[in-house]
Amino acid sequence: MYNTTIPSQADLPSPGQLIRSTIIAIATAAALLIVIVLPAEYGVDPTGMGQALGFTEMGEIKQQLAQEAEADRQIDTAAQDARNRAIIEAAAAGVSLPATENMAAAAPAAEAKPSRKDQMRVTLKPGEGAEIKLVMQRGERANFVWTVAGGVVNVDLHGDGGGESVRYAKKRGISTDEGMITAAFDGNHGWFWRNRSDENVIVILDVQGQYSEIRRII
């Protein structure tokens, strides 16, 4: 048999003490929500304390990453939808399509067009993004090289137009890149850069090839 001491009525918390403890717990949770959770998770800082403690920037970065992930999902979905439509149309016509990774390479060469050459510079503040696109016809090619002065960036090389979209490459934390774009379809093809550092950076893009226009979208 175990001897258990039953607490007396005086040792038990009173209803008033329970109510006070509950109120204190609710107030503490509300304070943590407003000062830490909202700034750190959603970038919402109603009191300004999140900014002072460094949580607001964390939340803003998380929201930007979530937006980028959603944009990536939409691009992938649109590309897959376009691919599925092409498969159905090709099957109806009795034509087989190349594998997805070979679609750009399989695009027929465009009619000879005079090559042009351009350079563009973009200054990005911390957290800021910019997009530059080449207006190209299917099969046109353009060589490019870009470098970052002052840091590194994330980059998404993609194309869109006429209800179609394609991603050529996506990289993070790099300071330079070069290669060739072969337009998979008529439309806009180019780069979206985002500066994830704490300092301003300058992206310097040099491009040469077959395209009718170069423009900054964002």
pLDDT tens digits, residue range 79-89?
A: 566 566 655 66
Q: If you average pLDDT over residues 52-73, what whole number do you get? A: 67
Domain boundaries, the chain: 12-97, 108-216
User: Using CA atoms, how far apart are residues 196 and 200, in angstroms rounded to an integer?
Assistant: 10
Q: Which residue type, as a one-letter code, is found at position 45? A: D
What's the confidence (pLDDT) of residue 48? 78
User: Using CA atoms, how far apart are residues 183 and 165, in angstroms rounded to an integer?
Assistant: 11
Mean pLDDT taken over the chain: 80
Give the model confidence (pLDDT) of 138-152 as tens digits. 999 999 999 999 999
Residue holding tokens 């490459």? 169
C-alpha atoms less than 13 angstroms from C-alpha of 16 in its C-beta half-sphere: 0
What's the confidence (pLDDT) of residue 178? 96
Q: What is the 3-state secondary structure (H, E, C) of 43-112?
A: CCCCCCHHHHHCHHHHHHHHHHHHHHHHHHHHHHHHHHHHHHHHHHHHHHHCCCCCCHHHHHHHCCCCCC
Exposure b/e, 122-157, CB count within 10 A at least 16 = b = bebeeeebbbbbbbbbbbbbbebebebeebbbbbbb
Q: Kindly report the length of the chain.
A: 218
Confidence of residue 108 (pLDDT cuts 50, 70, 90): very low
Output 103 or 68, whichever has higher pLDDT.
68
**Quick check: 117 pLDDT over 70?**
yes
- The DSSP-derived string for 168-212 is EEEEEEESEEEEEEE-SSSEEEEEEEE--SSS-EEEEEEEEES-S
Q: Which of 20-34, 35-49, 194-208 has the highest mean pLDDT?
A: 194-208
Q: How far apart are the first and last CA of the chain?
A: 78
User: Using CA atoms, how far apart are residues 88 and 96, in angstroms rounded to an integer?
Assistant: 10
**Quick check: 62 pLDDT over 70?**
no
What's the confidence (pLDDT) of residue 200? 96
Give the model confidence (pLDDT) of 161-209 as tens digits. 998 999 999 999 999 999 999 999 999 999 999 999 999 999 999 999 9
Output 151 or 18, whichever has higher pLDDT.
151
H or E segment and range at residue 15: helix 15-32
CB 184 within 8 A of CB 166: yes
CB 182 within 8 A of CB 141: yes
CATH entry, 108-216, from 2.60.120.380, 1.10.1780.10, 3.20.20.140, 3.40.50.2000? 2.60.120.380
pTM over 0.85: no
CA distances to 122, 124, 203 from 128, in Å: 11, 5, 12
